[in-house]
Amino acid sequence: MTIACSLSARGLLLWCLAAALAIEGFLQYSARFGFAASFSYLLTTGDSIGNWLLLLLAACAYLLRRHAGAACAAIRIAGSHPWLAAAVLFPLLCIGTLGVYHDQPLSMDEYAAVFQAKAFAAGRLAGAFPPDLLDALVPARFQNVFLTVSRATGEVSSTYWPGFALLLAPFAWLNATWAANPAIGALAVPAVHRLTREVTGSGEAAAWAAAITIASPVFIVDSVSYYSMQMHLLCNTVFALLLLQPTVPRAAAAGLLGSVALTLHQPVPHLLFLVPFVFWLAFRRRSGAALAALAIGYLPLGVLFGLGWHSHIMEMIRSAASAAVPAAPGRPLADTILDRISGVLTLPHAATFAARVAGLTKIWTWGAAGLMVLAAFGYVAGRANPAVRLLGAAALVTFVGYFFFPMDQGHGWGFRYFHSAWFALPVLAAAGLIAVRGDSGNGLRGMTAWLVVLSLVFANALRLAEVESFIAEHLAQVPPLAEKVPSGTRQIIFVRLGTGFYVEDLVQNDPYLRTSRITMVHQGEERTADLMKSRFPEYVRESRGEWGELWIARKPTPGR
């Protein structure tokens, strides 16, 4: 491999210092940009601490670089056995979901997928709520945004496309949705390992990529969350792996897998990642058949999960005579999909630019220390390799593409909009690490080995503690929700909206109200009392507060 530049351990440290100072300057100024409250809070609290921690880890790794024999050996051993690493990682991630994440879909993006998965697990397309209780069970501003409701029938479905919910459904049927993302995250490790080996032809590089992946907090935290982003990452990783050798069968398989990625929750993450591969195949010699096979591979599941689900959602909206999404009767489905996409597409403006710069800082602060510098160097060093150029282009298009979407992502760990292509960074970083030879290369790899070890322990510990604290405080806004339902008890919790930080997100229910706890929107003490008297007369009020009210079912009188 021909390298046009070099990177030393000292150079890496200086880049880390420059990045830390630039990021801290931006974070101090970021309150002026008017970001969503959740995005701004996470950006200005945990990210600043994480930024300085990564700089400290970089300094320590630099000082320890000449004593990295054990660290390098550990990375080689663990990285050489990716499936064993995945097997060890899976139960740890499960513990993380149950403990750190409190087994709680935090945002409505997460809850909508879990809600739909439980409906699928019951063999149905939609949940079923009493029509007269829809406004109590689904906050009004979330209706036909995250959850589509039919006032005529009480049916409720996730507005997002159903791919991720279908993947969660078997776990929901087993009452183990908490194990889904840990399994996906664990599987992503050997996938990244294999992709790196295909790109570089080096087992050493594959070991580096797997180790850097596991050491990055964004990878670990997304693996214990309920977001669909880790599945986007896994699908795109295997998609890229298949298309690096684009035979007709592999291209057809890539299309089939791509259709899953396209319909996981919404199509933009995979569409952006796909663009460079389509152009590459279109201008590559004798790739016409592979390109056709790729397109055909998208059709079956794309039509079923994409157009089929969109038709289901449109029919629910029409049956409720809702104008939330413009869809005149008789209009082609493709037109209504384009309406929904064009409704959120805008030309880049100052606020969007600021949000994407903030996202760029998150890629840095939620990765292993120095990851972006190593990835940039790996791209420059390996740009003669078409696979390196292709992965770099896919990552760049994914990042730039979101300049045309005005949202700042709201809740989310790391830069959620980039996560579908994030795996390209450890792959490129690994390519760079094996490109440098001599003493400079040994020093760089020694420093990186310590960056991996220290990030694995300290950066992950910091971010996991941050996530646990954030979710615990979120639940504590409505004290009964912070406690498990006592055995044999049934509860109804009324959440008073507007009294806390995103308390609407706490109104979450089973799609058929089968659980021992139901959460509703508090609509005033009189209306709540009337509702309970007429619909749930066996319940008595247990407590109340600024947060709302707790009602519990009376226990049957003995002998009756």
Q: Are residues 14 and 66 in the same domain?
A: yes
What tens digit of pLDDT does each residue of 246-267 get?
A: 999 999 999 999 999 999 999 9
pLDDT-derived band of residue 324, with 50, 70 and 90 as boundaries?
very low
Average pLDDT of 94-119?
Answer: 97
Task: Please give the Cα distance from 115 to 156 (Å, whole number).
Answer: 9
Q: Are residues 407 and 492 in the same domain?
A: no
What tens digit of pLDDT does each residue of 327-384 get?
A: 444 555 555 555 566 556 777 788 889 999 999 999 999 999 999 999 999 999 999 9
Q: Are residues 378 and 281 in the same domain?
A: yes
With beta carbons less than 8 A apart as the criterion, state whether 244 and 387 touch. yes
Q: Is residue 141 part of a domain?
A: no
Task: Please give the Cα distance from 295 to 303 (Å, whole number).
Answer: 12
Residue 31: predicted pLDDT: 74
Residue 328: predicted pLDDT: 44
Residue 406: predicted pLDDT: 82
Residue 28: predicted pLDDT: 87
Q: Are residues 184 and 271 in the same domain?
A: yes
Q: Is residue 104 part of a domain?
A: no
Residue 218: predicted pLDDT: 98
Tokens 């409906």 identify what position? 119
**Number of domains, the chain:** 2
pLDDT-derived band of residue 424, with 50, 70 and 90 as boundaries?
very high
What tens digit of pLDDT does each residue of 113-147 get?
A: 999 999 999 999 999 999 999 999 999 999 999 99
Averaged pLDDT score across all residues of the chain: 91
Domain boundary residue among 419, 439, 470?
470
Q: Are residues 193 and 327 in the same domain?
A: yes
Residue 320: predicted pLDDT: 63
Instruction: Tell me the residue range of the domain where 190 lies.
Output: 9-99+178-470
Q: Are residues 446 and 344 in the same domain?
A: yes
Domain boundary residue among 419, 442, 470?
470
Q: Are residues 387 and 319 in the same domain?
A: yes
The answer, yes or no, to whether residue 326 has pLDDT greater than 70, is: no
Average pLDDT of 50-76?
Answer: 93
Q: Is residue 131 part of a domain?
A: no
The alpha carbon of 116 is separated from its chain's Cα centroid by a whole number of angstroms, namely: 17
Q: Are residues 466 and 485 in the same domain?
A: no
Residue 322: predicted pLDDT: 44
Q: Are residues 497 and 364 in the same domain?
A: no
Q: Are residues 504 and 421 in the same domain?
A: no
Q: Is residue 549 part of a domain?
A: yes
Q: Are residues 453 and 489 in the same domain?
A: no
Average pLDDT of 169-173?
Answer: 97
Average pLDDT of 511-520?
Answer: 96
Q: Are residues 379 and 277 in the same domain?
A: yes
Residue 554: predicted pLDDT: 85
The DSSP result for 419-483, as a single string, is GGGTTHHHHHHHHHHTT--HHHHHHHHHHHHHHHHHIIIIIHHHHHHHHHHHHHHHHHTSGGGGS
Q: What is the pTM of this model?
A: 0.93
> What's the CA dihedral at 323, 346, 275, 298 to 10 degrees?
0
Domain boundary residue among 470, 491, 511?
470
